[in-house]
Amino acid sequence: MATILAIETSCDETAVAIVKNRQVLSNIVASQIPLHQRYGGIVPEVASRQHVETLNGAIAQSLQDADLTWMAIDGIAATCAPGLVGALLVGLTAAKTLALLHQKPFIGVHHLEGHIYASYLTAPDLQPPFLCLLVSGGHTSLIYVKDCGQYETLGQTRDDAAGEAFDKVARLMDLGYPGGPVIDRLAKQGNPAAFPLPEGQVSLPEGGFHPYDSSFSGLKTAVLRLTQKLQQNDQPLPVADLSASFQETVARALTKRAIACALDYGLKTIAVGGGVAANSGLRHHLQKAAETHNLRVLFPPLKFCTDNAAMIACAAAEHLERGHTSPLTLGAQSRMAISNVMQLYKPII
């Protein structure tokens, strides 16, 4: 398979990686988290400027780490959707310029397809069809992976993404940003049964609940009400118990939907992706439920769960192998359904 240099700048990580045959030759991730921490969330304009500052150095470093020159690179890829448009444009413009300069094919990649491909980096034997549970700061989706470029979204969140819920709940407990890792750490010292919290359900017009869609805004409001009530006691907030109870509710809700979806569609493997895949509560519940139902669950190592460019390179290599390349006129898009990824590639005549 081709050797791909990929750039990922869709949010707050400036990432560059080189991947060959699903082997990661270099993987640079320059996180901007400390820069955004003081604002309690990502400031898009600050993110774009920081990508501009960091990207050229990261590209040079990735070639140096892989001990390669441009001669050895078969294709140049970048995330082009979905994400913060200003941030996406930095990586996308750099990749297109390099492709033109070095006369290499250019491959635009959908960010969520990258998260799906993160699983292939450590499980090269993985074969579609399988189910991907994608849980990040911006997305919560159950995606039926039929083949490279062929995806169907079977379930999604109707409001906040799972990671966003972690971030918002952490903020209302004054735990800082990003919330997921802090809540995960605190939850280990807390009692998950301390505060029973409501699992958000999505009602169907014909009655009953959607089996795969989720909703986290009601849960967030329930935690808000609970913290307001607890604060009236003039005691320090029981953040460990609150974190454990919140995490338990999210982990159970995601596990229930992923297992139901895999069983209903006859899919034997669930590949988990996105930053929330790092969550120890989710890992525990999903692993246990999967064993009961004889399903395989793949959790990529943490460095491939959160945003990185190795996953983008891995997806791009698969597309290039199939003759899919993108026009240099390809633009950045803040939103794009994963079922439309083939629109990123030139028609094969």
Identity at 192, one-letter amino acid code: P
75 interacts with, out of ligand KG4, Zn ion, none, CB within 5 to 8 A per kind:
none
Contacting range for ligand KG4; rule: CB under 6 A; set: 93-101, 102-110, 174-182, 199-207: 174-182
Burial of residue 147 (number of CB atoms within 10 Å: 0-12, 13-18, 19+): exposed
How many chain residues are in contact with ligand KG4, going by CB under 6 A?
20
**Binding of ligand KG4 by 9 (CB under 6 A):** no
Contacting range for Zn ion; rule: CB under 5 A; set: 1-9, 122-130, 133-141, 335-343: 133-141
Site string for ligand KG4, 124-163 (x = CB under 6 A): ------------xxx------------------------x
Report the distance separating Cα 139 and Cα 65, nearest Å. Answer: 32
Closest listed residue to residue 80, CA positions, set 328, 330, 345, 339: 330
**Binding of Zn ion by 136 (CB under 5 A):** yes
Q: Is 283 helix (H, G, I), strand (E, B) or coil?
A: helix
Burial of residue 117 (number of CB atoms within 10 Å: 0-12, 13-18, 19+): buried
Residues 188-207, interacting with Zn ion (CB under 5 A): none
**Binding test (CB under 6 A) with ligand KG4, winner from 274, 299, 300, 345:** 274
Contacting range for ligand KG4; rule: CB under 6 A; set: 47-55, 164-172, 217-225, 285-293: 164-172
Closest listed residue to residue 178, CA positions, set 257, 266, 28, 279: 279
Identity at 65, one-letter amino acid code: D
Residues 268-327, interacting with Zn ion (CB under 5 A): 307
**Binding of ligand KG4 by 279 (CB under 6 A):** yes
First to last CA, the chain: 22
**Binding test (CB under 6 A) with ligand KG4, winner from 78, 275, 290, 341:** 275
**Binding of Zn ion by 14 (CB under 5 A):** no
CA angle 288, 291, 295 (to 5 degrees): 120
What are the E-state strand segments in 136-193? 140-147, 150-156
119 interacts with, out of Zn ion, ligand KG4, none, CB within 5 to 8 A per kind:
none
Q: Is 2 helix (H, G, I), strand (E, B) or coil?
A: coil
**Binding test (CB under 6 A) with ligand KG4, winner from 108, 180, 192, 238:** 180
List Cβ neighbours of 305 (8 Å cut-off, separation of 6 or more).
118, 272, 273, 274, 275, 277, 278, 299
**Binding of ligand KG4 by 200 (CB under 6 A):** no
Q: Interface with ligand KG4 by CB under 6 A: which residues?
A: 11, 136-138, 163-164, 166-167, 178-181, 184, 274-276, 278-279, 306-307
